[in-house]
């Protein structure tokens, strides 16, 4: 059976079938996946019951992977998974659900805000590949927003204003929106802001997208209140229902998305239930902006 895609909801999301991701991919399949990602931006693979090793092998066949060290509040000896995975679960290293008031859990609530993975890194992410092993009895959807369609729908005046703007992204800014300010000095240094263009061009398609995330907390040269006003307006615009695909997870799903032209957010679920989802992340193409000295 050949690799095929079928649009689901808005045109940037598609179901993919015809591949067993446990098996090595041919060069033809790899090229077909990249082409499908350029055409859509979110691909959903159902019934892929992968081991961690198979998840890694599939991811590496598409490109080099990020390391998740230092991107959360886990200490070095508290990681449940090798750091080539981003542990998006609510579990500690003993597979126990984190307590409601655990600061690692509270920090992770930042994933419920719209974002693009690793926009707080100088080189932001390319694709994310998230696989569901255990899901809660209700809630826990992931919603995706099409930032290319959102850019296209902006009026010309806003496009002109946004074109050359540079934003500062940090996980401290996204958590500030939640009232979470409980950072040590070491963490503040680790999470210091990086610069990203507000409008970016896709390297394969040449199409422009808004590059937004709740991690964006400043615009270079703008007063903070003015910057946040614009950023909130843009997020509100970009996440109107016509731009959004909500994914309801099934165990065995693997969802892959292009962070360069989408945002996403997790939705709440019962706090006492385990949710084990594991992400690999492809390294992006390069910085989108010059960094401050
Ligand atoms: Fe994410």
| pLDDT digits 0-9 by tens, 198-225 | 999 999 999 999 999 999 999 999 999 9
What is the per-residue pLDDT for 10? 85
> What separation in Å is there between the alpha carbon of 1 and the centre of ligand 1?
32
| pLDDT digits 0-9 by tens, 10-21 | 889 999 999 999
Lowest model confidence (mean pLDDT) among 6-10, 40-44, 56-60, 97-101: 6-10
Q: For residues 50 and 37, give the distance between their C-alpha atoms in angstroms, rounded to a whole number.
A: 21
pTM assigned to the model: 0.97
> What separation in Å is there between the alpha carbon of 157 and the centre of ligand 1?
30
> What separation in Å is there between the alpha carbon of 192 and the centre of ligand 1?
19
> What separation in Å is there between the alpha carbon of 265 and the centre of ligand 1?
6
Residue closest to 171 by CA, chosen among 121, 221, 231, 102: 121
> What separation in Å is there between the alpha carbon of 279 and the centre of ligand 1?
9
Average pLDDT, the chain: 97
> What separation in Å is there between the alpha carbon of 10 and the centre of ligand 1?
20
User: How confident is residue 176, by pLDDT bands cut at 50, 70 and 90?
Assistant: very high
Tell me what the mean pLDDT of segment 122-128 comes to: 98
Task: Give the Å distances, CA to CA, from 219 to 28, 81, 116, 118, 197.
Answer: 42, 35, 17, 18, 10
- DSSP-derived pairing of the beta strands 208-210 and 216-219: unpaired
Q: What percent of the chain has pLDDT over 70?
A: 100
What is the per-residue pLDDT for 264? 98
Give, as residue ranges, everything with CB less than 5 Å from ion ligand 1: 117
What is the per-residue pLDDT for 180? 96
> What separation in Å is there between the alpha carbon of 68 and the centre of ligand 1?
12
> What separation in Å is there between the alpha carbon of 90 and the centre of ligand 1?
14
> What separation in Å is there between the alpha carbon of 256 and the centre of ligand 1?
11
What is the per-residue pLDDT for 214? 98
> What separation in Å is there between the alpha carbon of 227 and the centre of ligand 1?
23
- DSSP-derived pairing of the beta strands 199-201 and 208-210: antiparallel
Say whether pLDDT at 1 is over 90. Answer: no
Query: For residues 75 and 245, which has the higher predicted lDDT (pLDDT)?
Result: 245
> What separation in Å is there between the alpha carbon of 221 and the centre of ligand 1?
28
What is the per-residue pLDDT for 2? 87
What is the per-residue pLDDT for 26? 95
> What separation in Å is there between the alpha carbon of 174 and the centre of ligand 1?
12
């Amino acid at each position: 059976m050949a690799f095929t895609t079928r649009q689901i909801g808005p045109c940037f999301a598609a179901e993919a079938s015809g591949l067993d991701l446990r098996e090595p991919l041919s060069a033809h399949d790899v090229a077909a996946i990249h082409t499908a990602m350029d055409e859509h931006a979110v691909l959903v693979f159902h019934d892929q019951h992968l081991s961690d090793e198979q998840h890694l092998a599939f991811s590496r066949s598409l490109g080099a992977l990020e390391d998740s060290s230092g991107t959360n509040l886990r200490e070095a000896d508290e990681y449940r998974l090798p750091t080539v995975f981003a542990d998006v679960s609510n579990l500690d290293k003993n597979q126990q659900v984190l307590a409601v008031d655990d600061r690692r859990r509270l920090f992770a609530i930042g994933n419920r805000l719209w974002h693009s993975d690793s926009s707080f890194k100088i080189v932001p992410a390319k694709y994310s590949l998230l696989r569901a092993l255990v899901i809660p009895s209700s809630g826990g959807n992931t919603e995706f927003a099409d930032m290319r369609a959102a850019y296209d729908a902006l009026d010309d005046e806003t496009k002109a204003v946004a074109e050359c703007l540079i934003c500062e992204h940090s996980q401290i800014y996204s958590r500030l929106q939640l009232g979470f300010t409980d950072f040590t000095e070491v963490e503040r240094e680790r999470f210091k802001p990086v610069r990203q263009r507000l409008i970016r061009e896709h390297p394969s398609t040449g199409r422009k997208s808004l590059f937004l995330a709740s991690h964006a907390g400043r615009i270079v040269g703008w007063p903070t209140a003015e910057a946040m006003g614009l950023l909130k307006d843009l997020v509100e615009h970009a996440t109107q229902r016509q731009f959004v695909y909500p994914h309801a997870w099934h165990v065995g799903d693997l969802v892959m998305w292009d962070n360069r032209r989408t945002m996403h957010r997790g939705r709440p679920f019962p706090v006492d239930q385990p949710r084990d989802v594991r992400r690999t992340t492809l390294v992006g193409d390069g910085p989108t902006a010059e960094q401050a000295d």
